[in-house]
Structure 1
Amino acid sequence: MSVLSGHAPSRLQLATGCVLQLLLGLSDQPSVEAVRYRIDFMYTMAMELDAPAPTTAC
């Protein structure tokens, strides 16, 4: 999640993303794509549906 996109993720969002990545056995790029395209990831991370897409993983 890039600060350059204008949206800096909270520590809780970063931690949640890392936990989801670990539980699902995703590498960095598939994890980023899951946050971009899966509503359940966005909901779990308390992101708005129209939030800017992350560009990098944790």
Structure 2
Amino acid sequence: MQAHVDKDTCIGCGVCPSVAPEVFAMDDDGKAVEIVESVPESSADSAKEAEDSCPVNAISVE
């Protein structure tokens, strides 16, 4: 499973790293970034929750 953040869509709200800090972080530009190449199985539920919680649908987890 991989996570991706569309940085053009991201508004930098910070929801994803608060829900899944093991998968997402905020970069120096104030936008979210994925910090793992592959989402660990133990983090799959929180990564999907972050995807569902993004107010602008900038996150995809597949």
Same topology, TM > 0.5: no
Which TM-score applies when normalising by structure 2? 0.31
User: Hey, which of these two has a bigger chunk of strand by percent?
Assistant: 2
Per the normalisation by structure 1, the TM-score is 0.32
Report which of the two has the higher share of helix: 1
